[in-house]
Amino acid sequence: MADETAPTAPESHAVTRLLRQLGGGDKAALHELMPLVYAQLRRLAAGCLGSEGRQHTLRATALVHEAYLRLVGSDVTFNDRVHFYAVAARMLRHILVDHAKAARRQKRGGGAVKVELDEAVLVGPGTPSNIVDLDDALKSLAALDARKSDVVELLFFGGLTYEETAAALNISPATVDRELRMAKAWLRRELARA
Protein backbone atom coordinates (compact mmCIF):
# COMPACT_ATOMS: atom_id res chain seq x y z
CA MET A 1 0.00 0.00 0.00
CA ALA A 2 1.36 3.45 -0.91
CA ASP A 3 1.92 6.12 1.70
CA GLU A 4 -0.86 8.66 1.19
CA THR A 5 1.19 11.40 2.85
CA ALA A 6 4.19 10.92 0.59
CA PRO A 7 4.53 13.54 -2.14
CA THR A 8 4.08 12.54 -5.73
CA ALA A 9 7.17 12.62 -7.95
CA PRO A 10 6.04 15.80 -9.78
CA GLU A 11 5.28 17.49 -6.44
CA SER A 12 8.67 16.48 -5.06
CA HIS A 13 10.43 17.83 -8.13
CA ALA A 14 8.39 21.04 -7.97
CA VAL A 15 9.40 21.61 -4.35
CA THR A 16 13.06 21.06 -5.22
CA ARG A 17 12.81 23.41 -8.23
CA LEU A 18 11.11 26.12 -6.16
CA LEU A 19 13.63 25.81 -3.34
CA ARG A 20 16.46 26.28 -5.81
CA GLN A 21 14.71 29.29 -7.36
CA LEU A 22 14.20 30.76 -3.89
CA GLY A 23 17.88 30.14 -3.11
CA GLY A 24 18.74 31.95 -6.32
CA GLY A 25 16.86 35.02 -5.16
CA ASP A 26 13.51 34.47 -6.89
CA LYS A 27 11.08 35.72 -4.23
CA ALA A 28 8.08 34.80 -6.42
CA ALA A 29 8.96 31.12 -5.83
CA LEU A 30 7.99 31.63 -2.19
CA HIS A 31 4.31 32.04 -3.10
CA GLU A 32 4.32 28.81 -5.10
CA LEU A 33 6.30 26.90 -2.47
CA MET A 34 4.05 27.46 0.53
CA PRO A 35 1.02 25.49 -0.72
CA LEU A 36 3.28 22.56 -1.66
CA VAL A 37 5.04 22.25 1.70
CA TYR A 38 2.33 23.48 4.07
CA ALA A 39 0.45 20.18 4.45
CA GLN A 40 3.62 18.22 5.23
CA LEU A 41 4.86 20.87 7.68
CA ARG A 42 1.42 20.82 9.35
CA ARG A 43 1.60 17.01 9.72
CA LEU A 44 5.09 17.29 11.22
CA ALA A 45 3.97 19.98 13.65
CA ALA A 46 0.85 18.03 14.65
CA GLY A 47 3.00 14.97 15.27
CA CYS A 48 5.41 16.96 17.42
CA LEU A 49 2.56 18.47 19.41
CA GLY A 50 0.52 15.26 19.66
CA SER A 51 2.16 14.27 22.91
CA GLU A 52 1.89 17.68 24.51
CA GLY A 53 -1.78 17.35 25.48
CA ARG A 54 -4.60 19.85 25.23
CA GLN A 55 -3.06 22.09 27.89
CA HIS A 56 -0.26 22.98 25.49
CA THR A 57 -0.60 26.61 24.38
CA LEU A 58 1.28 26.24 21.09
CA ARG A 59 -0.87 24.96 18.21
CA ALA A 60 0.24 23.20 15.04
CA THR A 61 -0.75 26.11 12.81
CA ALA A 62 1.27 28.59 14.86
CA LEU A 63 4.20 26.18 14.94
CA VAL A 64 4.08 25.74 11.15
CA HIS A 65 3.90 29.48 10.52
CA GLU A 66 6.81 30.18 12.87
CA ALA A 67 8.91 27.42 11.32
CA TYR A 68 8.08 28.48 7.78
CA LEU A 69 8.99 32.11 8.46
CA ARG A 70 12.30 31.06 9.96
CA LEU A 71 13.02 28.63 7.12
CA VAL A 72 12.42 31.03 4.26
CA GLY A 73 14.09 33.87 6.13
CA SER A 74 17.24 31.87 6.75
CA ASP A 75 20.44 32.00 4.75
CA VAL A 76 20.27 28.26 4.06
CA THR A 77 20.37 27.17 0.44
CA PHE A 78 18.21 24.07 0.21
CA ASN A 79 19.51 21.29 -2.03
CA ASP A 80 16.16 19.53 -2.41
CA ARG A 81 12.90 18.64 -0.69
CA VAL A 82 14.56 16.17 1.73
CA HIS A 83 17.11 18.80 2.79
CA PHE A 84 14.29 21.32 3.33
CA TYR A 85 12.38 18.92 5.60
CA ALA A 86 15.58 17.97 7.44
CA VAL A 87 16.17 21.64 8.25
CA ALA A 88 12.45 22.00 9.08
CA ALA A 89 12.78 19.15 11.59
CA ARG A 90 15.57 20.96 13.36
CA MET A 91 13.60 24.21 13.26
CA LEU A 92 10.45 22.58 14.73
CA ARG A 93 12.51 21.05 17.51
CA HIS A 94 14.11 24.40 18.38
CA ILE A 95 10.78 26.21 18.40
CA LEU A 96 9.22 23.56 20.65
CA VAL A 97 12.18 23.64 23.01
CA ASP A 98 12.15 27.44 23.17
CA HIS A 99 8.41 27.37 23.88
CA ALA A 100 8.84 24.70 26.58
CA LYS A 101 11.66 26.64 28.22
CA ALA A 102 9.57 29.79 28.26
CA ALA A 103 6.68 27.88 29.84
CA ARG A 104 9.04 26.37 32.40
CA ARG A 105 10.36 29.82 33.30
CA GLN A 106 6.81 31.06 33.79
CA LYS A 107 6.09 28.19 36.15
CA ARG A 108 9.41 28.81 37.95
CA GLY A 109 10.40 25.19 37.72
CA GLY A 110 7.20 23.69 39.08
CA GLY A 111 5.62 20.59 37.65
CA ALA A 112 8.76 18.90 36.36
CA VAL A 113 7.95 15.52 34.86
CA LYS A 114 10.25 12.51 34.45
CA VAL A 115 10.67 11.66 30.77
CA GLU A 116 10.39 8.03 29.69
CA LEU A 117 11.47 7.02 26.21
CA ASP A 118 8.73 5.14 24.39
CA GLU A 119 9.94 1.94 22.72
CA ALA A 120 8.30 2.75 19.39
CA VAL A 121 8.63 6.50 18.96
CA LEU A 122 10.14 9.55 20.59
CA VAL A 123 7.64 12.19 19.53
CA GLY A 124 4.01 11.51 18.82
CA PRO A 125 0.84 10.45 20.59
CA GLY A 126 1.45 9.16 24.07
CA THR A 127 5.03 10.39 24.41
CA PRO A 128 6.46 12.50 27.21
CA SER A 129 5.51 16.12 27.53
CA ASN A 130 8.90 17.30 28.74
CA ILE A 131 10.61 18.05 25.47
CA VAL A 132 13.33 20.08 27.19
CA ASP A 133 14.79 16.96 28.86
CA LEU A 134 14.67 15.13 25.54
CA ASP A 135 16.39 18.08 23.84
CA ASP A 136 19.12 18.10 26.50
CA ALA A 137 19.64 14.36 26.00
CA LEU A 138 19.79 14.81 22.21
CA LYS A 139 22.41 17.55 22.64
CA SER A 140 24.49 15.21 24.81
CA LEU A 141 24.11 12.46 22.22
CA ALA A 142 25.13 14.89 19.45
CA ALA A 143 28.31 15.70 21.36
CA LEU A 144 29.15 11.98 21.44
CA ASP A 145 27.78 10.94 18.05
CA ALA A 146 26.23 13.62 15.83
CA ARG A 147 24.94 11.14 13.26
CA LYS A 148 22.85 9.22 15.80
CA SER A 149 21.36 12.50 17.03
CA ASP A 150 20.64 13.56 13.43
CA VAL A 151 18.88 10.24 12.73
CA VAL A 152 16.58 10.72 15.72
CA GLU A 153 15.88 14.33 14.82
CA LEU A 154 15.09 13.62 11.17
CA LEU A 155 12.88 10.62 11.85
CA PHE A 156 10.92 11.89 14.82
CA PHE A 157 10.92 15.66 14.56
CA GLY A 158 11.17 15.80 10.79
CA GLY A 159 8.87 12.93 9.98
CA LEU A 160 11.21 11.72 7.26
CA THR A 161 11.18 8.09 6.18
CA TYR A 162 14.17 5.81 6.66
CA GLU A 163 14.99 6.26 2.97
CA GLU A 164 14.76 10.07 3.14
CA THR A 165 16.83 10.12 6.33
CA ALA A 166 19.41 7.90 4.67
CA ALA A 167 19.54 10.24 1.66
CA ALA A 168 19.82 13.34 3.84
CA LEU A 169 22.72 11.82 5.82
CA ASN A 170 24.30 9.99 2.86
CA ILE A 171 24.03 6.58 4.57
CA SER A 172 22.04 3.42 3.87
CA PRO A 173 18.56 2.73 5.32
CA ALA A 174 20.10 -0.24 7.17
CA THR A 175 22.56 2.14 8.82
CA VAL A 176 19.66 4.44 9.75
CA ASP A 177 17.94 1.50 11.47
CA ARG A 178 21.12 0.48 13.32
CA GLU A 179 21.90 4.06 14.40
CA LEU A 180 18.33 4.55 15.57
CA ARG A 181 18.35 1.41 17.71
CA MET A 182 21.62 2.44 19.36
CA ALA A 183 20.45 6.05 19.83
CA LYS A 184 17.21 4.93 21.47
CA ALA A 185 19.08 2.71 23.91
CA TRP A 186 21.46 5.54 24.77
CA LEU A 187 18.62 8.05 25.16
CA ARG A 188 16.63 5.64 27.34
CA ARG A 189 19.60 5.31 29.69
CA GLU A 190 20.30 9.05 29.68
CA LEU A 191 16.67 10.00 30.38
CA ALA A 192 16.45 7.45 33.18
CA ARG A 193 19.28 9.31 34.93
CA ALA A 194 17.49 12.66 34.65
CA dist list (Å): 104 to 8, 33, 51, 99, 116: 41, 35, 17, 9, 19
**What integer is the mean pLDDT of 38-56?**
70
Please tell me which residue, 113 or 182, carries the higher pLDDT value: 182
- Please state the domain extents for the chain: 9-193
pTM score of the predicted model: 0.61
- Which range has the top average pLDDT, 2-6, 14-18, 56-60, 102-106? 14-18
